[in-house]
Amino acid sequence: MPNTNISPLINVMKTAYNKVNKRIYRDFGEIENLQGLDDKIDRFFNKTYEFIEYNLKDYLTYCRPEWKFLDNKNSTFKKGTYYWLLEPLSGKENFKRSIPIFSCSISVFFNDKVIASSIYDPLRNDFYFTEEGKGAFLNDHRIRVSNRKYLENSLISLKVNNPSFEFEKLFLRDHIAFKNIRILNSSIVSMSWLCNGKLDCFIGINMDEFLIQSSKLLLRESGGFFLEATLNKNNFFICANPTIHKKIIKILN
């Protein structure tokens, strides 16, 4: 059933994305012509990224001038204060290489808790959004995680934020069931596809804590489960549909 009841807050996020989507689409087309020119690609991408970040912040500030932004310099919550958390572009290396797998993300924190979250894929015009207790949506319809029950035919996305971490030795080598691994190189895209049933599991290793917190709401509202664990001094964030989640926990134990 179409969702005709988008809240004012979600509408603010959607409009913010609309302020940057044409530029993203144009620049992504242009960057294909720069392949092989690494210096030019980096400069071009940096301008694109700065444009996205500036314009998202500018519009969100215009709509909610009293709200603050979370980042590496400002990571302390004050009680009773609303905070925006932005991921201007998740999948930077994909964008630079003209690979069409990247997304933007906006979340809202209040009293150290995520109350609303959204993800936007500008190439596909896919707008994922959720608010606490209201379900998860893609554009005008509700979404749920998959109901796959067997690891053998499950699609699992992996994101390792530690080049020296040998995931296969710790987790995969003795578990032949894990044979459908995908490296999308974008945690945000992986989460949105998991919540929409395109993937059955996402395993993030040594992820940013704010990104983890902002991802949990969309996952919960789409019926998924998550687990945070530390193995061999690496922090795991494991998300999946309920059945696959249980099976992965058994393997870890």
List helix spans (H) across the chain. Answer: 8-18, 21-31, 38-63, 92-96, 167, 187-195, 209-221, 242-252
- By the 10 Å C-beta count (0-12 exposed, 13-18 middle, 19+ buried), 167 is classed as middle
Q: Could you report the per-residue pLDDT of 175-187, keeping only the tens digit for each? A: 545 668 888 999 9
Q: Do domains 8-142 and 151-252 have the same CATH topology?
A: no
Give the pLDDT of residue 78: 83
Domain 151-252 coded CATH 3.40.640.10: no
- For the chain, the structural domain boundaries read 8-142, 151-252
Q: Is the pLDDT of residue 19 over 50?
A: yes
Phi, psi (deg, nearest 5) at residue 129: -155, 160
**Dihedral angle, C-alpha 48, 121, 119, 215, nearest 10 °:** -100
pLDDT tens-digit map of 32-85: 888 777 788 999 999 999 999 999 999 999 999 999 998 766 667 788 899 999
Provide the residue count of the chain.
253
Q: Which CATH architecture has domain 8-142?
A: 2-Layer Sandwich (3.30)
Provide the percentage of residues in the chain whose pLDDT is more than 90.
63
**Quick one: pLDDT at residue 209?**
80
What is the residue-averaged pLDDT of the chain? 88
* pTM of the complete model: 0.91
pLDDT digits (tens, 9 = 90+) for 133-177: 999 999 989 999 999 998 888 999 988 776 555 555 555 555 545
